[in-house]
Amino acid sequence: LVKVFSWKGKFRFCIGNKGKAAFKRPSAVVTNAQGEIFVKDDVQISMFTDDGQFIRTIGAAVLQRPYGLALTNDGHLLVIDHGRKAGDASVVRFEQDGRLVKRSPFEPLSNAAYSKCRFIAVWRDSLYVVDLGKSVVYVTDFDGKEKRRFGQFGRNEGDFREPSGISVDPKGFVYIADSKNDRIQIFDAEGTFLSLVSLNHNLLRPSDIHVTSDKYLLVSNYLKHNAHVYLLTPFESDRNI
């Protein structure tokens, strides 16, 4: 199930715990401008009102192994579908009413050995996909055509060890949870390393993250079983935030 909390951490309600709204391993959530909630699980996307009332399911007939969930500026829902066998990965795009817009081959995974694409984000006309299996980030268009990639396995600045959550702020700064290095890194939209995020306590396997338009950073700590909210302060490219 999915638990919904207020900004101050007060529990509000659960969704996905009964009937048609029941989930199978939910792993990604987005909301639209109306506050409606979209949750991706292992088989489909489920849509709810802002107070948790079930509306519809999306993609159950076409998705096979979906990962990640993002909402484009024109209101389309995007997921990465790994398919049933290696090399079948695709970008799948839906209208919010459930209609399939397009399925396109995801070019970076034409050779998918060891790949585990689990988290995605969008900025303008680019799709950012984190591959925690190969410790790299792919940047494609919405049709899956690769523009570039950045990152490699390691512990240095700009390197990753099983990167996970990703969020892009309105200015194009890319925040990535570097899970096994227990840190969050910032890159520009092209993938150039800018800074580490300095926090007032240590992270322990950060998983999904989100940066709001008013510069709040939300982090789920996988091994601590909790979530934290931080207020980000301005930074220069040669300094930690």
Domain CATH for 170: 2.40.10.500
27 pLDDT more than 80: yes
Residues forming beta bridges with residue 100, ordered by sequence position = 94
Kindly state whether residue 136 falls inside one of the protein's structural domains.
no
Q: At residue 235, does pLDDT exceed 60?
A: no
User: If you average pLDDT over residues 17-37, what whole number do you get?
Assistant: 91
What dihedral angle (degrees, nearest 10) is formed by the CA atoms of 137, 138, 142, 143? -150
The pLDDT value recorded for residue 240 is 43
Higher pLDDT, 240 or 76: 76
Q: How many domains does the chain have?
A: 2
- pLDDT band of residue 20 (cuts 50, 70, 90) is confident
Longest dimension (CA), the chain: 52
62, 91, 111 - which closes a domain: 111
* pLDDT tens-place string over residues 167-213: 999 999 999 999 999 999 999 999 999 999 998 878 899 999 999 99
Q: Are residues 36 and 96 in the same domain?
A: yes
Residues above pLDDT 70, as percent of the chain: 97
Q: Are residues 107 and 157 in the same domain?
A: no
Nearest to 159 by CA among 139, 187, 200, 199: 187
What is the C-alpha separation between 227 and 219, in angstroms, rounded? 5
Containing domain of residue 83, as a range? 1-111
pLDDT band at 239 (very low <50, low <70, confident <90, very high): very low
Average pLDDT over residues 98-122: 92
> Is residue 225 in a domain?
yes
Mean pLDDT, rounded, for 28-57: 96
Whether the model pTM is above 0.85: yes
Instruction: State whether 54 and 159 are in the same domain.
Output: no
191 within a domain of the structure (yes/no): yes
Domain harbouring 55, CATH code: 2.120.10.30
User: Which residues are CB-neighbours of 1 under 8 A, at least 6 positions away?
Assistant: 14, 15, 16, 17, 23, 26
Return the pLDDT at 85: 77
